[in-house]
Chain A
């Protein structure tokens, strides 16, 4: 397959997929090396420089989105606002789950210092968080973790993109 042809197909695949497509999936369909696919995506990025849409790398895949500067115009289309803001409580719980998943409700509450049932429920309703099974042991408490929708909603490539967490266990040393 010629590079130009591969590029065109890649463009079409990214456009048509109902979710962000990973380089791996693209490579499988195109029967090319993932490294080559990433080079192709760079070429597409350049070719769309003067267009209203651009490629975004999110939730482990690639997706076409409109450029931020035309957002005010798109708003006029009256697309339902899916991204209603979250409460502070919801954001705190989400931040904790993102870093410490899989995590139980009582562990979240210990960090936040307050009950978090309704915060967690809201996160689940909005599909930002899901139950990931249960922890072995007394009471077999439910474990929570974040979803791909969380990554997409917040424009994250993966959880690694979040700033790394200072190690609190070493605190004893610093206090001294």
Chain B
């Protein structure tokens, strides 16, 4: 295990600038979603939830992917800082996963009158992933801090990323046999401006996730540094 300190800020501190740009973009995304994009022909206003729901889902996938990437780096390079980065990425992914479930179920209620639809593959997949990654925290907090916990958390994060396509396939297979679909939903046809609103929202939400990731990482590193300082001063 190399001895690079885990608490050196990896890259420069342009966090405030990042946060400002994110806030601006999120505001822009809302403006686009509500005022620029035309109302959807058949779904009406409830279609506007789509502009946040799908980008949040895509961002959750990105967080889980990022966590697996950092986990791979930890196992390969054995540098302590990747453990913290992988953990924070999983934490972000779980938050956005929960948001996906929340906004998704509100959208389902608005469009089809049911809070939960087993036929909605995306939602079911996120439910499975949410259960999986919640277990990540149960596992992580039940092992004593150290190289062993870092390795095990990393391996589990790798399993998560493999589980995504496998579960998606399973849910699709289950769809027409075990749970015949009740509501068919063809992909939302998007006009030019709708697609633009979607893209702005996607960039905004991704940046939001990255900002929160950097904020939480900074917080966790501060914690670690302070703990070391306290130890140095009190022993």
Determine if chain A interacts with chain B: no
